[in-house]
């Protein structure tokens, strides 16, 4: 997937994961979950991999 989307030309696997692990889901007091703000770089990576920002797991860490 990473090679098909040409991400490997810009990012190593480690850098890609480090960039994406900054995305957070925050649980609010009323039970709703909110995804933290996504940077342009993160958005481009997610779009290239055909992954929705809503798919980001809660408390993701590398």
Which residue would you say has higher pLDDT here, 61 or 14? 14
In a domain, 22, yes or no: yes
Decide if 47 contacts 38 (C-beta within 8 A): no
Which residue would you say has higher pLDDT here, 10 or 37? 37
pLDDT attached to residue 62: 44
Question: How many domains are contained in the chain?
Answer: 1
Residue 23 belongs to domain spanning = 7-55
In a domain, 60, yes or no: no
pLDDT attached to residue 26: 85
pTM of this prediction?
A: 0.72
In a domain, 23, yes or no: yes
pLDDT attached to residue 29: 94
Q: What is the pLDDT of residues 15-48, one digit of tens each?
A: 988 998 888 888 899 999 888 899 999 999 998 8
In a domain, 62, yes or no: no
In a domain, 32, yes or no: yes
């Amino acid at each position: 997937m990473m090679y098909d989307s040409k991400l490997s030309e810009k990012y190593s696997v480690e850098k890609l994961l480090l960039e994406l692990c900054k995305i957070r889901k925050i649980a609010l007091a009323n039970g709703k979950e909110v995804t933290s703000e996504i940077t342009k770089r993160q958005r481009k990576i997610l779009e290239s991999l055909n992954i929705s920002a809503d798919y980001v797991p809660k408390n993701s860490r590398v």
